[in-house]
Structure 1
Amino acid sequence: MKLKDKSCIVTGAASGIGNAIAHKYASEGGKVAIADIKIEAAQAAADEIKTRFGTDAMAVAMDVTSEEAVNAGVAKVVEAWGGVDVLVSNAGIQIVNPVEQFAFSDWKKMLAIHLDGAFLTSKACLPHMYAKGSGSVIFMGSVHSKEASPLKSAYVTAKHGLLGLARVIAKEGGKKGVRANVICPGFVKTPLVEKQIPEQARELGISEDEVVSRVMLGQTVDAEFTTVEDIAEVALFFAAFETNALTGQSLVASHGWCME
C-alpha cells in the first residue's frame, strides 16, 4: 500500500481524471477528500470509494476560486484526518475562442479556476505539510503546459503558469520535505474533451472526425487517447515518490504527441 493512511485532497474529483486519481489513491490505502463544486456528485463519489475500497473518503464542497471555500474545505480535512499529505489540484474547465473574440470575463474565469485554484489550494495545504515535514503537491497541467494550440489562449497561458508555480513551491518546500510536480496529459477522453470536439469543429470549419483524427490525435504515435487510468498512475507515482529527486519536474503522458 503506497499511500496507506495518507490524507489526500483531490480537487475536481467528482468525475473524470480527478475521480480516477481518487480511486487509485484509495486502492493504495489513501484517505481521499473529493473536493468539488458539485457537492452531491462529490458525495456520491466518496460513497462509492468507501464501498469499493473500505477506506476513508469524504466529500468537500469547494469552489477553488474562493479563498474562503478553499480554506474551509482544507480545514475540514485537517480536522478529520489530522493533516494533508497529498494535494492534487485538478479542477479545470475549457473555453475555446480566437484571441480577438475571447471574452475578458472568460479569460479571467479560466485563469481563476486553473491558476488561482492551484495557488489557493497550495497556500492552504502547505502549512500542514510543513508541520509534518513531508508532502506532495501535484498540479494537473497539460501538453499545453509545453505547447500551444489555436483557440486556447487562456488555457495554454494557465497551464504554462502551473509549471512556474510548481517550481517555486519545489524551491521553497524542498528543505521542509515537500515536493511539487506537474502532470501534463495529452487528450484524455473526458466530458471536458468531448465538449471541445463540436466546438473546435465549428471554429475551425472542419468535421468532428477531423478534430479527433487531426487536431487531437494527429501527432500521437498510435492515434490513441490517453486514459484517465494512465494519468492516475502518474499521479500515484508522484504522490508516493518520497525523495526530492524529482521535485519541480513535469511528466508528459500523451502517446508521443509531445516528447522531451
Structure 2
Amino acid sequence: MARFDGRVAIVTGAASGIGREIAHAFAAEGAIPVIADLNLEAAEKTAQEIRDKGGEAMAVAMDVTDEAAVDKGVDAVAEKYGRVDILVSNAGIQIVKPLVEFDLASWKKMLAIHLDGAFLTTRACLRHMYKANYGRVIYMGSVHSKEASKLKAPYVTAKHGLTGLAKTLAKEGAEHNVSANVVCPGFVRTPLVEKQIPEQAKEFGISEEDVVRKIMLKDTVDGEFTTTGDVADAVLFFAAAKNCVMTGQSVVVSHGWFMQ
C-alpha cells in the first residue's frame, strides 16, 4: 500500500517547477494531486503527464489572490472527490529590487501571492478538512523564512510570515487533526531562480557566475543547488505524518545554508 492511497492533495503553482515535482511525487505514492495554477493549459498538461503514467489528477485554474476563484476551485475538488486531505501552498513569484526603489504595487503583489494566497487556500481547504477531522497543510517557505538577503524585502517578509501562519494553524487545527508545517528550500534552479541570476548580476555589478558562487551558494556546505526532488521529499515527509506530533515546525532543505 502506497503512503497516500486515495488522498487528495491540492498543490498550488503546480504546473511547473517545484510544484510540478511535488504533484508527480504525490501521484507516484498513490495520491490524487490537484494541479492548481494560474495557467490552466499548463496545469492540464501536468495533470495529463500524471494520467499518462497511470495516475489520477485534476487541473484547476486558480489565482490564489482571488478569494472567489480559490473558494470555487477548492469546492470543485471537494465536489469531485468528496475530500480535501492535503494542501501544499506553493505558488509564488520573485521581484528583485533594492528596498528604497521598491514600488508599493510590487510590494503588494508579492505579499498578495505569497501570504494572501496561503491564507485564502488554507481557509478554503480547512472548511473541508475540519469536517473530515483530517488535514495536512504544508507551506512553501524558503531559507528566507529564517534569513534575509539584499534586494528581496517583500519576499523575505512574506516567507517569514508563513512560519507565523503555520504556527497559528498548528494550534487552531490540532483539535481537528490538522497539522501545519513549512518546508524551507535553499536555491533551486527553477525558472524563478534562473531569472534572478542576471538581475542580481546587474544590480551588484558582478558576473552571473559570481552570483551563483558568491551569493546563492556561498553559505552551503558543498556548493550545490537544492533540487526539486529534495523539496518534494520534505513535503511528502510532513504530509505523511500520522498525527500532529511535528505540527508547527519548519525544515530547511538547503545543503547546510542556515543551520538550526
CA distance in 1, matches of 2:244, 2:34: 25
1:83 aligns to 2:83 (yes or no):
yes
Counterpart amino acid of residue 31 in structure 1: I
CA distance in 2, matches of 1:98, 1:123: 33
The number of residue pairs the alignment matches comes to 259
SS in 1 for 2:245: helix
Give the equivalent residue in structure 2 for 1:35: 36
Deviation at 1:56, TM superposition (A): 1.5
CA distance in 1, matches of 2:164, 2:246: 15
Counterpart amino acid of residue 206 in structure 1: I
SS in 1 for 2:225: coil
**1:16-36 deviations in Å (ceiling 9; x for gaps):** 000000000000000111000
1:58-97 alignment, distance < 5 Å:
58-97=58-97
**1:163-185 deviations in Å (ceiling 9; x for gaps):** 00011000000011000000000
CA distance in 2, matches of 1:103, 1:215: 24
1:109 aligns to 2:135 (yes or no):
no
Counterpart amino acid of residue 23 in structure 2: A
1:10 aligns to 2:11 (yes or no):
yes
SS in 1 for 2:125: helix
Counterpart amino acid of residue 99 in structure 1: L
Give the equivalent residue in structure 2 for 1:172: 172
Deviation at 1:255, TM superposition (A): 0.2
1:202 aligns to 2:206 (yes or no):
no
**1:21-70 deviations in Å (ceiling 9; x for gaps):** 00000000001110000000000000001111x22101100000000110
CA distance in 1, matches of 2:182, 2:248: 8
Give the equivalent residue in structure 1 for 2:258: 258
Deviation at 1:83, TM superposition (A): 1.4
Counterpart amino acid of residue 250 in structure 1: S
1:46 aligns to 2:47 (yes or no):
yes
CA distance in 1, matches of 2:177, 2:60: 26
Deviation at 1:4, TM superposition (A): 0.4
Give the equivalent residue in structure 1 for 2:151: 151
SS in 2 for 1:209: helix
Moved over 4 A (4+): none
Counterpart amino acid of residue 199 in structure 1: E
Deviation at 1:161, TM superposition (A): 0.2
CA distance in 2, matches of 1:80, 1:48: 20
Counterpart amino acid of residue 194 in structure 1: E
CA distance in 2, matches of 1:105, 1:151: 16
CA distance in 2, matches of 1:170, 1:186: 24
CA distance in 2, matches of 1:241, 1:206: 44
Counterpart amino acid of residue 43 in structure 1: E
CA distance in 1, matches of 2:22, 2:37: 14
CA distance in 1, matches of 2:120, 2:38: 15
Counterpart amino acid of residue 257 in structure 1: W
1:120-139 alignment, distance < 5 Å:
120-139=120-139
Deviation at 1:127, TM superposition (A): 1.3
Superposed CA RMSD in Å reads 0.5
CA distance in 2, matches of 1:3, 1:50: 16
Structure 2 unmatched ranges of 5 or more = none
Deviation at 1:205, TM superposition (A): 1.1
SS in 2 for 1:257: coil
CA distance in 1, matches of 2:63, 2:116: 11
Give the equivalent residue in structure 1 for 2:242: 242
SS in 2 for 1:96: coil
TM norm structure 2: 0.99
Give the equivalent residue in structure 1 for 2:220: 220
